[in-house]
Amino acid sequence: MTNPGRKPVIAGNWKMHKTKQEAKQLASAVVNAVKGQSDLPQIVLCPTFTGLETVLAETAGSPVEVGAQNMDWREQGAFTGEISPPMLVDLGVKYVIIGHSERRQFFGETNQSVNQKLQAAIKHHLIPIVCVGETLDERENNLTDAVIARQIAAALIDLTAEQIKGILIAYEPVWAIGTGKVCEATEANRVAKLIRKTVANLHNMPDLADSIPILYGGSVKPSNIEEQLEQSDLDGALVGGASLNAEEFLALITATQKKLRLAPTKS
């Protein structure tokens, strides 16, 4: 968190959790706690599709934004079970997570579909949170850097520098997700630097790469967020388990606020 142009982000990926009533309670606890507060990070709640309208209603007029966890890249058609970008925009959703490792692992997402979704999100003015990360096997075989560089380059194919400017990237090592094994902050920072270098090389624009917020995801908890926030190239967190509990999620926001008070951003 050293670039003053990058606003930190604390995003909660609720995955397949929370009924409508539970979603309402959690969103309202977050909204009430941050009301009137200064030095907040950008807060984004990503409930299930069925929770979106409830969470949007609960967060309306507050600094808390709402994201979807996935979408199709097509606008409409005979695609049973899918949700399109215009449908999300119509609801008032601002962000969308793209290429989460659980989508890649369990639902057949590929680098190519990630690229198609990313292009569709940008076209419809949704802010994409693009996820990349290596598996344990890849890490143990020293493939981390190659995998991350390939995922980033493939995700960004055919995107102009202008289009890349608005995206967020989440580095989520697969082996750290839901396992309690957090990636060492200095190692996550090293990978974040590699992500910036890969983005910079695509358009030969280091400034562009420097402007993109990069979040860390994988077993983020109040007990380990501070170390992540200390890192030069990390700008917050994409949080799974700890985002399901108001107290824990709010502790992550408070930690980020403290950090921001020490080193304010421009925005």
- Kindly write out the interface string for residues 85-104 of this chain, putting x where it contacts ligand 13P by CB under 6 A and - elsewhere: ---------------x----
Q: What percent helix, strand, coil does the chain show, rounded to 5?
A: 50, 15, 40
Please indicate whether residue 125 is annotated as part of the active site.
no
Q: State yes or no: residue 84 binds ligand 13P (CB under 6 A).
A: no
- Pick between residue 83 and residue 252 the one whose CB is nearest to ligand 13P: 252
238 binds ligand 13P (CB under 6 A): yes
The contacts of residue 28 (CB under 8 Å, 6+ apart) are: 58
For residue 99, the 8-state DSSP code is: S
Q: Pick the binder of ligand 13P from 67, 99, 128, 218 (CB under 6 A).
A: 218
| Contact call for residue 220 and ligand 13P (CB under 6 A) | yes
- What's CA 115's distance to the chain center, in Å? 16
Interface with ligand 13P includes 224 (CB under 6 A)?
no
Query: 227 — phi, psi (to 5°)?
Result: -65, -40
What is the phi/psi pair of residue 133, to 5°?
170, 150
Q: What x/- string results for residues 100 through 139 when contact with ligand 13P is judged by CB under 6 A?
A: x---------------------------------------
**Burial status of residue 21 (CB atoms within 10 A of its CB: 0-12, 13-18, 19 or more):** exposed
CA 12 – CA 55 distance, rounded (Å): 12
Among 54, 115, 151, 219, binds ligand 13P (CB under 6 A): 219
**Cα angle, residue 230 at apex, residues 226 and 233 outer, rounded to 5°:** 125
Interface with ligand 13P (CB under 6 A), residue from 189, 241, 259, 260: 241
226, two tokens: 């501070």
SS3 142: coil
Selecting among 65, 100, 109, 138, the annotated active-site residue is 100
Sign of CA dihedral 112, 14, 236, 43: positive
| CB nearer ligand 13P, residue 100 or residue 139 | 100
Assess whether 58 carries a catalytic annotation: no
Q: Which of 70, 77, 76 is nearest to 109 (CA)?
A: 70
240 binds ligand 13P (CB under 6 A): yes
# of chain residues touching ligand 13P (CB under 6 A): 14
Residue 252 lies near ligand 13P (rule: CB under 6 A): no
Applying CB under 6 A, which part among 103-111, 134-142, 170-178, 189-197 lies near ligand 13P?
170-178
Footprint on this chain of ligand 13P (rule: CB under 6 A): 13, 100, 172, 177-178, 217-220, 238-242
Residues with a known catalytic role: 100, 172
